[in-house]
């Protein structure tokens, strides 16, 4: 069967072509599953693996919300349980990096936990900004465990006229 000009141009194939059965030829494989680490049993019940630095194999990633207003870019992140001196915020014109650590205040034996879902340990997040910001006018505040960073946008369209001084 001769292909039409459109079929040759677009690379499509007519219905009933050998390419129609492509999906049927693929073997169906189950979705990959993550192997759970060995859970310790306490009195016949299994406890979930701890979600801390050691179980995840490194640093946690801080979830954030980033939005904009007419004049600012605003970043918000939950940092409950983190003291201000445990937070580090680094700002450049096009990027913000937030890092810190959340440490357990008391040590509890692993077998005494029924459920353990809180993240303990160091965390960080690097956010690429959609627009350049004024680094010097940026502010950060924390209230009720919510970190809010306000980054004023740089107005590239703003122009100033300079007068040339003689002398």
Confidence of residue 9 (pLDDT cuts 50, 70, 90): low
Domain segments of the chain as ranges:
47-152
Within its chain, how far is the Cα of 41 from the centroid? 34
Q: What percent of the chain lies above the pLDDT cut of 90?
A: 32
State the average pLDDT over residues 29-43. Answer: 47
Select from 3.30.420.40, 2.60.40.790, 3.40.50.2300, 3.40.980.10 the CATH code of 47-152: 2.60.40.790
CA distance 16 to 13: 9
The burial class, CB within 10 Å (0-12 / 13-18 / 19+), for 104 is exposed
Give the count of alpha carbons within 13 A of 153, CB side only.
Answer: 15
The residue that leads in pLDDT, 114 or 58, is 114
CB contact at 8 A, 66 and 127: yes
Q: Is the pLDDT of residue 90 over 70?
A: yes
Q: What is the pLDDT of residue 31?
A: 53
CB 127 within 8 A of CB 149: no
pLDDT band at 10 (very low <50, low <70, confident <90, very high): low
Q: In what order do the strands lie in the sheet with 60-61?
A: 60-61, 121-128, 95-102, 87-91
pLDDT bracket for residue 77 (50, 70, 90): very high
Helices (H), 11-93: 22-25, 53-56
Residue 134 has pLDDT above 60, yes or no: yes
C-alpha–C-alpha distance, residues 25 and 71, integer Å: 54
| Mean pLDDT, range 106-128, rounded to an integer | 83
Structure token pair of residue 35: 């192997």
**So what's the pLDDT on residue 51?**
40
Phi then psi dihedrals of residue 49, to 5 deg: -65, 140
Q: What is the chain's alpha carbon radius of gyration, rounded to the nearest angstrom?
A: 27
Query: From CA 4, how far away is CA 167, in angstroms rounded?
Result: 77
pLDDT the model gives residue 137? 92
pLDDT of residue 151 exceeding 70, the answer is yes
């Amino acid at each position: 069967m001769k292909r039409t000009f459109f079929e040759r141009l677009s690379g499509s194939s007519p219905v009933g072509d050998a390419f129609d059965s492509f999906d049927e030829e693929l073997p169906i494989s189950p979705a990959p599953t993550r192997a759970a680490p060995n859970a310790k049993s306490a009195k016949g019940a299994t406890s979930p693996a701890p979600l801390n630095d050691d179980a995840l194999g490194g640093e946690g990633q801080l979830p954030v919300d980033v939005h904009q207003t007419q004049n600012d870019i605003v970043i918000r992140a939950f940092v409950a349980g983190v003291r201000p001196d445990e937070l580090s915020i680094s700002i450049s014109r096009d990027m913000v990096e937030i890092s810190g650590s959340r440490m357990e205040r008391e040590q509890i034996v692993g077998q005494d936990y029924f459920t353990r879902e809180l993240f303990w340990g160091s965390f960080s997040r690097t956010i690429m900004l959609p627009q350049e910001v004024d680094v010097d006018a940026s502010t950060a505040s924390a209230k009720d465990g919510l970190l809010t960073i306000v980054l004023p946008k740089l107005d590239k369209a703003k122009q100033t006229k300079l007068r040339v001084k003689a002398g």
